[in-house]
């Protein structure tokens, strides 16, 4: 029950600090929402794994929220309170960073990983788009391999650098070819191929398979360009997050609170945030957990982590599957079956995430029965399993 005594601002700040130090998520609700608001907060808490055990709840009067910018993403909390709903929150710990020369850009492991992901995707997506361009050849209209490659590079460069300083298409393509060259040097090791050109052939073959499966060239192209945009935006988001984290460190060194603009960057309290389902594809294809920098998607961390491991399985590696993972895999297969039966678009971001996860599962091993057997075995025994492509049934 909510204490009848209305809390002071200091009471709320102290309560938030205690919850944040516990290193567990917590639920925040509007104190003026009364018993109904608190009941909604308890329902949100119980919806979390392990029935919400260990998750705290704090009720805060809405009038205090604007004064809590050092603790909360104010705009997000205010919007939730206006809609009469509680919010699940995660504390963000300050990452220690060494002082950096003002002339040198922030270069953390997260930034390096995001750059590598964009470089690798540049290579794979260029190979796919070139195959799309060649697939449009007809008796009356055809392009050479060189022309198809040039068209592919131009389109993907435009998707990566939408607007910006390089309005000149030639400049964008020149930058893209730099990405392409760096990606070419990385892809063989990342995907386990002897030569980068072998991977390019596989990517082209995957396009032909999708076309044979009924997809149009425009469908495949739109998917390629959306992926390019996703990887590019993630790199930009990562750099903004790490720059803000760096400034937070420097402020803390001299006893100053975090700047409001940096807080927004760190918690990703931006109006044009990327969707979780696009970032699930990044987790699968780039072996990165987007929740590390897209902090508003912390509640998808477990799903993203599982997506990373399914991506590794697709690339020939052995992975572990825990009982909690098995439940998520079961949800994904159920969402895919339901979508196929009802023939409609997913209703929520979680549903869309599950569809992409199911697609990756079935790309790794097309036998859904094998997945169901793995899920049932893991849930029944309560013991995790190690699986690799060697365990897949022969088709």
Residue at 58 is within a domain:
yes
Residues 250, 193 within the same domain: yes
Distance (Å) of CA 196 to CA 2, 22, 146, 180, 201:
61, 47, 18, 11, 9
Q: What pLDDT, on the 0 to 100 scale, is given for residue 378?
A: 97
Residue at 278 is within a domain:
no
Higher pLDDT, 102 or 309: 309
Which of 256, 273, 290 is the endpoint of a domain? 273
Q: What pLDDT, on the 0 to 100 scale, is given for residue 258?
A: 81
Residues 102, 60 within the same domain: no
Residues 155, 257 within the same domain: yes
Q: What pLDDT, on the 0 to 100 scale, is given for residue 70?
A: 66
pLDDT, one tens digit per residue, over 192-243 is 998 999 999 999 999 999 999 999 999 999 999 999 999 999 999 999 999 9
Q: What pLDDT, on the 0 to 100 scale, is given for residue 1?
A: 46
Which of 238, 273, 308 is the endpoint of a domain? 273
Residue 18: pLDDT band with limits 50, 70, 90: confident
CA 313 to chain centre: 18
Residue at 2 is within a domain:
no
Residue at 285 is within a domain:
no
Check pLDDT > 90 for residue 260: no
Residue at 250 is within a domain:
yes
- Structural tokens at position 216: 């149009």
Higher pLDDT, 125 or 169: 125
The label of the residue with tokens 């993630």 reads: 234
**What pTM was estimated for this model as a whole?**
0.85
Mean pLDDT, to the nearest integer, of 271-293? Answer: 94
- Structural tokens at position 325: 């993972």
Contact assessment for residue 230 and residue 274, using Cβ atoms and an 8 Å cutoff: yes
Residues 152, 111 within the same domain: yes
Residue at 291 is within a domain:
no
pLDDT, one tens digit per residue, over 340-371 is 888 777 888 889 999 999 999 999 999 999 99
Residues 116, 181 within the same domain: yes
Distance (Å) of CA 128 to CA 123, 125, 149, 176:
9, 5, 10, 15
- Per DSSP, the three-state class of 385 is strand
**R_g of the chain, CA atoms, integer Å:** 24
Burial of 282 (0-12, 13-18, 19+ CB in 10 A): buried
Residues 169, 265 within the same domain: yes
Residues 311, 260 within the same domain: no
Residue at 286 is within a domain:
no
Closest to 233 (Cα-Cα) out of 308, 284, 160, 126? 160
Contact assessment for residue 344 and residue 350, using Cβ atoms and an 8 Å cutoff: no
Burial 163-174 (b: 16+ CB within 10 A, else e): eeebeeeeebbe
pLDDT, one tens digit per residue, over 313-347 is 999 999 999 999 999 999 999 999 988 888 777 88
The count of structural domains within the chain is 3
Residues 28, 106 within the same domain: no
Residues 112, 231 within the same domain: yes
Q: What pLDDT, on the 0 to 100 scale, is given for residue 22?
A: 80
Burial of 4 (0-12, 13-18, 19+ CB in 10 A): exposed
Residues 105, 81 within the same domain: no
Q: What pLDDT, on the 0 to 100 scale, is given for residue 298?
A: 87
Mean pLDDT, to the nearest integer, of 79-89? Answer: 87
Higher pLDDT, 51 or 353: 353
* Nearest-angstrom CA–CA distance, 168 and 155: 13
Closest to 328 (Cα-Cα) out of 349, 352, 357? 357
Residues 170, 269 within the same domain: yes
Check pLDDT > 90 for residue 167: no
Residue at 292 is within a domain:
no
Which of 89, 107, 135 is the endpoint of a domain? 89
Check pLDDT > 70 for residue 162: yes
Residues 199, 347 within the same domain: no
Which range marks the domain in which residue 50 is found?
Answer: 9-89
Contact assessment for residue 160 and residue 229, using Cβ atoms and an 8 Å cutoff: yes
């Amino acid at each position: 029950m909510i204490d009848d005594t209305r809390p002071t601002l200091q009471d709320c700040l102290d309560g938030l600090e205690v919850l944040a130090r516990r290193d567990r998520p917590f639920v925040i609700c509007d104190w003026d929402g009364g018993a109904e608001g608190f009941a909604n907060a308890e329902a949100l808490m119980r919806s979390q794994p392990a029935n919400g055990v260990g998750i705290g709840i704090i009720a805060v009067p809405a009038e205090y929220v604007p004064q809590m910018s050092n603790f909360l993403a104010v705009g997000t909390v205010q919007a939730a309170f206006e809609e009469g709903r509680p919010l699940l929150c995660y504390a963000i710990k300050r990452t220690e960073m060494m002082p950096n020369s003002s002339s040198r850009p922030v270069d953390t492991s997260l930034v390096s990983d995001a750059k590598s992901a964009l470089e690798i995707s540049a290579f794979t997506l260029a190979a796919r788009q070139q195959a799309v361009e060649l697939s449009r050849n007809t008796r009356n209209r055809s392009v050479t391999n060189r022309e198809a490659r040039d068209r592919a590079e131009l389109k993907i460069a435009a998707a990566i650098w939408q607007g910006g300083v390089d309005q000149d298409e030639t400049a964008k393509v020149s930058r893209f070819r730099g990405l392409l060259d760096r990606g070419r040097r990385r892809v063989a090791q990342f995907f386990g191929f002897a030569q980068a050109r072998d991977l390019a052939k596989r990517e082209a073959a995957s396009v032909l398979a999708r076309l044979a499966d009924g997809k149009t060239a425009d469908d495949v192209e739109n998917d390629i360009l959306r992926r390019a945009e996703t990887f590019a935006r993630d790199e930009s988001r990562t750099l903004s997050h790490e720059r803000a984290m760096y400034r937070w460190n420097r402020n803390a060194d001299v006893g100053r609170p975090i700047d409001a603009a940096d807080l927004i960057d760190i918690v990703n309290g931006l109006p044009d945030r990327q969707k979780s389902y696009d970032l699930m594809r990044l987790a699968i294809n780039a072996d990165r957990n987007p929740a590390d920098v897209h902090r508003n998607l912390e509640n998808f961390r477990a799903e993203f982590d599982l997506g990373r491991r399914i991506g590794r399985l697709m690339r020939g590696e052995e992975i572990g599957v825990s009982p909690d993972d098995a439940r998520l895999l079961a949800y994904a297969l159920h969402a895919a079956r339901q979508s196929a039966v009802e023939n409609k678009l997913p209703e929520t971001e979680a549903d869309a995430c599950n569809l992409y996860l199911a697609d990756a599962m079935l790309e790794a091993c097309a036998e859904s029965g094998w997945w169901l057997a793995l899920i049932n075995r893991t849930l029944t025994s309560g013991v995790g399993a190690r699986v690799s492509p060697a365990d897949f049934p022969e088709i």
